């Protein structure tokens, strides 16, 4: 904008060399702005393909995931689904965080409140599986599994809501342990099946539902916690029959764009999806191939959030270019002063259709074309016949008031002055009515001010 204001014709009140210097600086500044805008747009275009992925941690409690497990065969199987049954036993394991040593409760209890220290735990190793499978006096905790009504051969694991038994870290003074789950899977016709298919379906997350009311009330944040059953992105894993498999789970929450176009404009990603990232470790075969062991453990006690975000957006490009232009404009104004105000823009001058511009000119002429001429356009020293300079001043004041100067406080001052004059005139009327009953000294300005204040002393 300052470039066009610096172009000829130059101001007649300034030396020509000064005007040329100002035009030269304006050309340099304009060129720098164009180069900066070009670099910004080129950088935006080069990074337009994929958004960046920003990773953070969510400190929220969660259960082990619920899953569906089904026995499968490599060839066609026409067995009776009503006869084939899948049996799953569940046990709780504890892993010492410092040494990674695994423990199992002495009484194979599933509940942490029955365990008070190392005396209540036994060391767990690979050979313990044989006893867990063959000792029928050991509880199986099978109440966490339900039959899949769509496929009688499948079972669905439904963990309870978040409680001490499913917390990530358990404190057994003086050490901390992480709980893990051990599943022993058997089938009445185990020799028929080749592998098991596992689909993780949902997980319960203890989310904080912080509202404006609770924040203003300064409530305890723990009171706003709520268990939310979250659906996981569909996934599928396979376990060979007779194997000991360890799944190390990483719970992730991804926030992505429904459309990259909204990301280009600077809007935040809003599509939230939760999924498991699983690292599979397969150990040697179990001592007895008639059963399969699955061990679940979490690598972290927090949720990893992956949020898509475009580093460079259209809004950011415009903001950068606008800020750079504003900085150079400020320097230019500091060096050469401010340019003239422009109350009319491109829409009034060029863009709008001819009928609109003609209507705009007609309304403008009805207000500012008078018998005293056009303000700022006609020479005030050559007024038409019958015109007075006061008419020209009145039109010019209206132009300044409508386009340049905020006259709010002046109008308020006029209202106050009018009220003062009305009060003064009322006091004069009062003096006339009193006539000779008051002293002549009360007719001066001091007396009037006293009357206006309600005092005659």
Question: What is the number of other CB atoms lying within 10 angstroms of the CB of residue 179?
Answer: 20
Q: What is the pLDDT of residue 173?
A: 61
Q: What is the pLDDT of residue 250?
A: 92
Tell whether 325 and 434 lie within a shared domain.
no
Q: Rg of the chain's alpha carbons, rounded to an integer?
A: 43
Among the listed residues 280, 301, 66, the one whose alpha carbon sits nearest the alpha carbon of residue 179: 301
The Cα 168–Cα 134 span in angstroms is 29
Q: What is the pLDDT of residue 426?
A: 83
The Cα 213–Cα 226 span in angstroms is 16
Q: What is the pLDDT of residue 456?
A: 46
Tell whether 186 and 237 lie within a shared domain.
yes
The pLDDT tens digits for 400-457 are 888 888 888 888 998 988 888 888 888 777 777 766 555 555 455 555 555 455 544 4
Q: Please, are residues 245 and 278 in contact by the beta-carbon 8 Å criterion?
A: no
Provide the residue count of the chain.
Answer: 457
Tell whether 166 and 259 lie within a shared domain.
yes
Tell whether 240 and 191 lie within a shared domain.
yes
Q: What is the 3-state secondary structure (H, E, C) of the chain?
A: CHHHHHCCCCCCCCCHHHHHHHHHHHHHHHHHHHHHHHHHHHHHHHCCCCCEEEEEEECCEECCCEEEEEEECCCCCCCCCCCCCEEEEEEEEEEECCCCCEEEECCCCCCHHHCCCHHHEEECCCCHHHHHHHCCCCCCCHHHEEECCCCCCCEEECCCCCCHHHCCEEEECCEEEEEEEEEEEEECCCCCCCEEEEEEEEEEEEEECCCHHHHHCCCCHHHHEEEEEEEECCCCEEEECCEEEEEEEEEEEEEECCCHHHHHCCCCCCEEEEEEEEEEEEEEECCCCCEEEEEEEECCCCEEEEEEECCCCHHHHHHHHHHHHHHHHHHHHHHHCCCCCCCCCHHHHHHCCHHHHHHHHHHHHHHHCECCECCCCCCCCCCCCCCCHHHHHHHHHHHHHHHCCCCHHHHHHHHHHHHHHHHHHHHHHHHHHHHHHCCHHHHCHHHHHHHHHCCCC
Tell whether 38 and 74 lie within a shared domain.
no
- pLDDT beneath 70: ranges in the chain: 1, 75-85, 111-115, 117, 161-175, 188-191, 208-224, 285-289, 351-352, 434-457
Residue whose tokens read 């030396």: 15
Tell whether 238 and 255 lie within a shared domain.
yes
Question: What is the number of other CB atoms lying within 10 angstroms of the CB of residue 237?
Answer: 17
225 has which bridge partners?
208
Q: How many domains does the chain have?
A: 4
Tell whether 12 and 91 lie within a shared domain.
no
Domain, as residue range, for 374: 346-397
- Examine residue 403 and state whether it is found in any structural domain, yes or no: no
Tell whether 231 and 318 lie within a shared domain.
no
Cis omega (within 30 of 0) on the bond before 174?
yes
Q: What is the pLDDT of residue 457?
A: 47
Tell whether 80 and 187 lie within a shared domain.
yes
Tell whether 328 and 298 lie within a shared domain.
no
Tell whether 159 and 278 lie within a shared domain.
yes
């Amino acid at each position: 904008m300052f470039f066009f204001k610096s172009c000829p014709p130059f101001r007649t009140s300034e030396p020509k060399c000064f005007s040329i210097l100002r035009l030269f600086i304006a050309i340099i500044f304009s060129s720098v702005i164009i180069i900066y805008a070009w670099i910004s747009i080129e950088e935006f275009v080069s990074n337009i393909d994929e958004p960046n992925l920003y990773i953070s941690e969510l400190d929220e409690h969660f259960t082990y995931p619920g899953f569906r497990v089904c026995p499968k065969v490599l060839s066609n199987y026409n067995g009776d689904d009503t006869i084939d049954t899948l049996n799953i036993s569940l046990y709780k394991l504890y892993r010492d965080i410092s040494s990674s040593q695994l423990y199992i409760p002495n009484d194979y209890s599933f509940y942490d409140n029955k365990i008070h220290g190392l005396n209540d735990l036994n060391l767990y190793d690979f050979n313990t599986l044989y006893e867990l499978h063959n000792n029928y006096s050991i509880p199986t905790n099978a109440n966490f599994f339900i039959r899949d009504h769509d496929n009688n051969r499948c079972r669905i694991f439904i963990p309870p809501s978040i409680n001490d038994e499913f917390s990530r870290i358990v404190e057994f003074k003086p050490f901390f342990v992480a709980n893990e789950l051990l599943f022993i899977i058997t089938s009445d016709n185990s020799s028929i099946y080749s592998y098991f298919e596992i689909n993780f379906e949902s997980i319960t997350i203890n989310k904080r539902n912080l509202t404006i009311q609770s924040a203003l009330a300064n409530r305890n944040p723990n009171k706003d916690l709520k268990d939310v059953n979250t659906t996981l992105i569909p996934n599928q894993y396979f376990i060979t029959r007779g194997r000991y498999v360890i799944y190390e789970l990483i719970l992730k929450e991804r926030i992505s764009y429904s459309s990259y176009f909204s990301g280009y404009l600077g809007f935040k990603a809003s599509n939230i999806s939760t999924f498991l990232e699983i690292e599979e470790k397969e150990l040697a075969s179990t001592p007895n191939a008639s059963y399969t062991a699955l061990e679940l453990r979490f690598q972290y006690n927090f949720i990893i959030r992956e949020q898509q975000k475009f580093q460079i957006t259209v809004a950011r490009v415009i903001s950068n270019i606008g800020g750079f232009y504003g900085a150079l404009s400020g320097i230019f104004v500091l060096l050469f002063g401010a340019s003239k105000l422009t109350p009319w823009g491109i829409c009034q001058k060029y863009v709008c259709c001819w009928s609109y511009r003609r209507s705009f000119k007609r309304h403008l002429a009805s207000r500012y074309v008078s018998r005293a001429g056009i303000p700022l356009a006609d020479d005030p020293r050559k007024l038409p016949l019958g015109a007075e300079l006061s008419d020209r001043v009145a039109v010019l004041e209206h132009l300044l008031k409508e386009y340049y100067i905020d006259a709010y406080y002046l109008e308020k001052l006029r209202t106050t002055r009018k009220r003062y004059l009305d009060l003064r005139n009322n006091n004069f009327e009062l003096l006339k009515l009193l006539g000779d009953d008051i002293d002549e000294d009360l007719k001066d300005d001091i007396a009037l001010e006293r009357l206006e204040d309600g005092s005659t002393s």
